[in-house]
Structure 1
Amino acid sequence: MRYIIGLDIGTTSAKTVIFNKKGHVISEHEEGYDLLHSAPEYAEQDGEAINTAAMDSVRLALEKGSIKSKDVIGVGLSSAMHSLLCVDKQGRALSPSITWADRRSVNEAEYLKDNHSTVYLRTGTPLHPMSPLSKLIWMKNHHYEPYQKAYKYVSIKEYVLYRWFGEFVVDYSVAASSGMYDIHKQDWDETSLKLAGISRDQLSRVVPATHEMKGLSKEASDLTGLASSTPFIIGGSDGPLANLGIGAIEPGETAVTIGTSGAIRQFASIPAVDEKQDVFCYSFTEDLWITGGPTNNGGIVLNWLKDLFSNEGYSLSFDQLNHMAARVKPGSEGLLFLPYLNGERAPFWDASAKANFIGLRSTHGKEHMVRAGMEGVIYSIYHIAHELERLGHSHDALYASGGFARSPLWTQMLSDVFGKPVHIPKSHQSSAWGAAWTALYSLGEVPSLHSIKTSIPMNETIEPNQANYQTYQQTFKIYKELYPAIMKQLKQLQSI
């Protein structure tokens, strides 16, 4: 039997998933790494630790499945977006990898919003501290030594690829999420580069998702267990590949991913941006874009509630939290939660946003707070969906991925809030399968990217409860007005 590998270099871990050509998982392994906070607002990672984790995850997945390298058709790559490293001419890291969660460039992002808002209309990347453009301007303004010495500015995916192949290349979707790539012209945006104080020579060569890389280095071959002749397909970022891997490809098919953070996304045949700048739009292929919005606050809300309600020596499980929430009626008996524990990206793009319980009474208990927290995350996703509808996207069917897809209660909430069916695949490794399928297509093993829909084993489809839908429609009308109403006061609190 022959196998295809999807390697997903994420925010918290590198995951290798080995599939057969029908999309069934044969073996998988995940290697974690730390998020480092060397100063307030910083969120960094060790690039070499990630490189090592990626190699280890491949080798250990092969070993777990007793799979020989000669039986591997190829490897497709996926990665998180918005990371930035400074590297020297030998590809050695001069800086940590600065992640999407890093907030040091808040002032630079505000400067861009106030003075260069048209950058978004060309690049599709919201003007926010997550953007590598904001990070580079921060480096320039603060005379950051690695910035001054750098030969190239790269994402973590580019860093790993250079270590394995000795070539600086970047796929369309990772390039597009940098804030410096013109999604209309499919080329680096000269105005953005000038703002960052860099030249196109200091960025990688942009290649399509189907670009094949050969000649795996001896070190990488030894440490991954793959033959040096194994073809690698560059793939894309985790967002569009999750849509592909879950089957949300056609108009009206919407992917919702909730892990630590969350996102809602749809493919589009033309770039979709407008003056409100509420959503992102990134290139995936020459004629396919991914449009949507991310939320900072997904499963992290449940983590916070879990820690809040656990006692010393006794930790609540996520199953227990789900059981607590299930005891409460939809709408949480008048309790709403704005889930902005870590600021927010879409639709407000406000790094200083704060979380709030609204409507709290003495009759509410922990179970109400847990349910309101879960509902708040779904309302946040639904809020972004409304902005996508304004741009012409419909949401006829939802496809769920990420850790929340394992929760029957949470996915039922998603179906009830939207009033739409939710399809749940058997495998939760949608980005890895999307990367693997892109590799199969590039290598001529399958006829098209769209033909993936026949190879995604589905677990179940959840139908909406219409009574719950009506309840949620009423509460959402209140929810979406709350943050704009108290935003001024929250900013005043922050300044005290």
Structure 2
Amino acid sequence: MEQDPNEWIEAFAHAARDVLAPFGDAKPAGVALSGQMQNVVLARAGASLRPCLLYSDVRAVEEAEHIRRRLLEDGDADSVATGSFPLSNFKGAAACLCKWLWLARHDAETLAEAETLLLGAHSFLAYALCGGDRAAAACDPTTASTTGLLAAGPSETETSARWAKEACGRFPGVDPALLPPLVLGFAPPPVGEVSLRTANALGLPRNLAQVPVFHGVGDLASTTVGAVGVGASSCGASYAYLGTSGWIARVQTRDSAGALPTLVTKNKNVDESKPTTFTLLHPDPALEIFAASMVTAGGSVEWARRVLLPGDFGGGDKSPTRFDAAASSAPTGSEGVLFLPHLNGERSPFTDATARGCFVNLSPATTTGHMCRAVLEGVAYNYRALNDALEAPDARRLSSTIGAPMPFLGGGAKSPLWTQILADATRHTLAPLPDASTVAARGCAAGAFERLGLWGPASAEEKGGRAKPPAGYFPRDGKGDAVAPDADAAATHDKNYEVWRKLHDALAGAGAGSLV
């Protein structure tokens, strides 16, 4: 899965013109960025040298096995220090080191031209907006902790996050010097300013030139901050996000040792009976994000709309109305039709780059409505598996808010039908946020607002703590309508889920890798 990073620049320019048009010549205080994480972008002089490898790209299966074998069998200084696999959150073929090694083997000429390797869409935007200033090449801790490139534990001299440069440098063509510096802290200084040359080239509003550029954080971090707020009040809070990909996450106090977890992709060295969860760095260094994520959530519906309702896809209308109407024509449980949403492999509750999607229990009586509803329910069942993984007895910490309404956001939250299905399938009351589409933007801007001094001082009882946002800034402060599970529907989903959760293992021999 590849994408041209120039599309991100064009999208930014279009959005900037639209957003700033009503404000005339007023100069913005800054530009704060967020975007998809776990990408591999080769860049030089403010431009991308080739289409980037996206987070969902799992072509590097051979490289993943080679890396796993080499690092576990040979060992290195990092593994000696931690007594374990030296890479944190290593996700097999989806890990950025695997994609990097694939590029070294298959596009070495382009890799040799790169002056930096960037790992998030927002990272590339910051670098490009600043005119390719090498000082603007950076990575935030949350994005870094999704890449599989961070060291799994603290060194003798460092307690903060650091790249596993020694481990990376063991592979021909992988030069750790390309890794960008980490931008640490909740409200770090800007990495540069919008260059006049770039502003003119992109046709940006004149008042955007020379405005400070804040690197910001990856989409999961900005969504987390926007969904549950900042500071101590966010600890223990969980939420669910359903966009193209999806996750359930909670905020918790960071491990006092400062260590990041070790995770090796599914193989003989791992107890495969344990679900896969991830502990990621929070923008606030005192906190961490405990998450379970799936690769293709809303993306499954986009695929199903294109295949099952082709007339619904051509006009640019991305509203779920027609798809939901078709799904509503089938009963709860889709009369036994089940869907596995692993179209691009899977991260949680298991890691398997070769997993693929499928329908089960089709019959001559199956309608388009059954299949549409099965897609919504199949994604919901995977969310139930994510929730089970986070609440498993061996999970690092249990949420203090289990049982409370869970904030729900992303494109999926716009569908009343899907929201109800998700509540029924997970047996969890959901609270769709009133402005779900802007939650991540609020979280993205929070650090910049604080750095620029645009938020008020901390309250008296929190003297010396985080600056206080204005009332209502975070939508969790408001009152959304909660969607409770329906008992009869939940009972039907319980039966389906017991079959659904066994399907991945039952079909393991039919994955993409077995048919090559």
Structure 1 length-normalised TM = 0.81
Q: Which moved more, 1:307-316 or 1:149-158?
A: 307-316
Name the counterpart of 2:167.
Answer: 192
Kindly provide the amino acid, as one letter, of the partner of residue 86 in structure 1: L
Name the counterpart of 2:59.
Answer: 104
In the alignment, structure 1 residue 76 sits paired with structure 2 residue 45: no
Does the C-alpha gap of structure 1 residues 490 and 139 become closer, same or farther in structure 2, counting only changes over 3 Å?
closer
Kindly provide the amino acid, as one letter, of the partner of residue 180 in structure 2: S
- Written as runs of structure 1 = structure 2, the 5 A alignment for 1:218-367 is 218-222=196-200, 223-225=203-205, 226-247=207-228, 250-270=234-254, 273=261, 278-285=276-283, 286-310=285-309, 318-367=320-369
Paired positions, count = 450
In the alignment, structure 1 residue 455 sits paired with structure 2 residue 410: no
Give 1:101 deviation, angstroms: 2.5
Q: Which moved more, 1:417-426 or 1:219-228?
A: 219-228
Does the C-alpha gap of structure 1 residues 398 and 123 become closer, same or farther in structure 2, counting only changes over 3 Å?
farther
Does the C-alpha gap of structure 1 residues 309 and 47 become closer, same or farther in structure 2, counting only changes over 3 Å?
closer
**Equivalent residue in structure 1 for 2:407, among 389, 393, 399:** 399
- Written as runs of structure 1 = structure 2, the 5 A alignment for 1:141-156 is 141-142=105-106, 144-155=108-119, 156=121
2:168/2:175 contact within 8 Å kept:
yes
Name the counterpart of 1:467.
Answer: 488
Q: Which structure 1 residue ranges, 5 or more long, are not aligned?
A: 1-42
What is the alpha-carbon distance in structure 2 between the residues aligned to residue 232 and residue 307 of structure 1? 38
Q: What is the alpha-carbon root mean square deviation over aligned residues?
A: 3.0
Q: Could you say what secondary structure the match of 1:212 adopts?
A: coil
2:249/2:289 contact within 8 Å kept:
yes
Name the counterpart of 1:171.
Answer: 140
Q: Could you say what secondary structure the match of 1:367 adopts?
A: helix
Does the C-alpha gap of structure 1 residues 300 and 210 become closer, same or farther in structure 2, counting only changes over 3 Å?
same
Does the C-alpha gap of structure 1 residues 403 and 440 become closer, same or farther in structure 2, counting only changes over 3 Å?
same
Give 1:207 deviation, angstroms: 1.2
Name the counterpart of 1:204.
Answer: 180
- Written as runs of structure 1 = structure 2, the 5 A alignment for 1:28-47 is 43-47=1-5
Give 1:323 deviation, angstroms: 2.0
Give 1:312 deviation, angstroms: 6.6
Kindly provide the amino acid, as one letter, of the partner of residue 282 in structure 2: F
Q: Could you say what secondary structure the match of 2:371 adopts?
A: helix
What is the alpha-carbon distance in structure 1 between the residues aligned to residue 313 and residue 115 of structure 2? 50
Give 1:451 deviation, angstroms: 5.4
What is the alpha-carbon distance in structure 1 between the residues aligned to residue 329 and residue 346 of structure 2? 29
Q: Could you say what secondary structure the match of 2:350 adopts?
A: coil
What is the alpha-carbon distance in structure 1 between the residues aligned to residue 325 and residue 188 of structure 2? 47
Kindly provide the amino acid, as one letter, of the partner of residue 431 in structure 1: A
Name the counterpart of 2:156.
Answer: none
- Written as runs of structure 1 = structure 2, the 5 A alignment for 1:43-122 is 43-63=1-21, 65-70=22-27, 72-88=28-44, 90-116=45-71
Structure with greater proportional strand content: 1
Name the counterpart of 2:149.
Answer: 180
Give 1:180 deviation, angstroms: 1.3
Does the C-alpha gap of structure 1 residues 267 and 172 become closer, same or farther in structure 2, counting only changes over 3 Å?
same
Q: Deviations over 1:12-39 (max 9, x none)?
A: xxxxxxxxxxxxxxxxxxxxxxxxxxxx
2:275/2:348 contact within 8 Å kept:
no
Does the C-alpha gap of structure 1 residues 200 and 339 become closer, same or farther in structure 2, counting only changes over 3 Å?
closer
Does the C-alpha gap of structure 1 residues 211 and 122 become closer, same or farther in structure 2, counting only changes over 3 Å?
farther
Name the counterpart of 1:157.
Answer: 122
**Equivalent residue in structure 1 for 2:447, among 427, 438, 446:** 438
Give 1:411 deviation, angstroms: 0.6
Does the C-alpha gap of structure 1 residues 413 and 449 become closer, same or farther in structure 2, counting only changes over 3 Å?
farther
Give 1:421 deviation, angstroms: 1.9
What is the alpha-carbon distance in structure 1 between the residues aligned to residue 381 and residue 361 of structure 2? 16
2:86/2:262 contact within 8 Å kept:
no
Name the counterpart of 2:76.
Answer: none
What is the alpha-carbon distance in structure 2 between the residues aligned to residue 342 and residue 74 of structure 1? 36
1:73/1:230 contact within 8 Å kept:
yes
Q: Could you say what secondary structure the match of 1:294 adopts?
A: strand
What is the alpha-carbon distance in structure 1 between the residues aligned to residue 24 and residue 421 of structure 2? 40
1:153/1:202 contact within 8 Å kept:
yes
Percent identity over paired residues: 24
What is the alpha-carbon distance in structure 2 between the residues aligned to residue 258 and residue 195 of structure 1? 38
Q: Which moved more, 1:327-336 or 1:226-235?
A: 226-235
What is the alpha-carbon distance in structure 1 between the residues aligned to residue 125 and residue 312 of structure 2? 40
1:343/1:350 contact within 8 Å kept:
yes
In the alignment, structure 1 residue 476 sits paired with structure 2 residue 500: no
What is the alpha-carbon distance in structure 1 between the residues aligned to residue 325 and residue 161 of structure 2? 48
Kindly provide the amino acid, as one letter, of the partner of residue 437 in structure 1: A
What is the alpha-carbon distance in structure 2 between the residues aligned to residue 182 and residue 287 of structure 1? 18
Kindly provide the amino acid, as one letter, of the partner of residue 162 in structure 1: Y
2:244/2:298 contact within 8 Å kept:
yes
Q: Which structure 2 residue ranges, 5 or more long, are not aligned?
A: 73-78, 154-159, 264-273, 459-465
Q: Could you say what secondary structure the match of 2:48 adopts?
A: coil
Does the C-alpha gap of structure 1 residues 205 and 453 become closer, same or farther in structure 2, counting only changes over 3 Å?
farther
Does the C-alpha gap of structure 1 residues 350 and 292 become closer, same or farther in structure 2, counting only changes over 3 Å?
same
Give 1:267 deviation, angstroms: 2.1
Does the C-alpha gap of structure 1 residues 69 and 102 become closer, same or farther in structure 2, counting only changes over 3 Å?
farther
What is the alpha-carbon distance in structure 2 between the residues aligned to residue 244 and residue 435 of structure 1? 8
What is the alpha-carbon distance in structure 2 between the residues aligned to residue 413 and residue 453 of structure 1? 32
Q: Deviations over 1:185-244 (max 9, x none)?
A: 411113432245545432212112422224331134454324445333322100111121
Give 1:248 deviation, angstroms: 6.6
Does the C-alpha gap of structure 1 residues 372 and 452 become closer, same or farther in structure 2, counting only changes over 3 Å?
farther
Kindly provide the amino acid, as one letter, of the partner of residue 279 in structure 2: C
Q: Could you say what secondary structure the match of 1:182 adopts?
A: coil
Kindly provide the amino acid, as one letter, of the partner of residue 280 in structure 2: Y
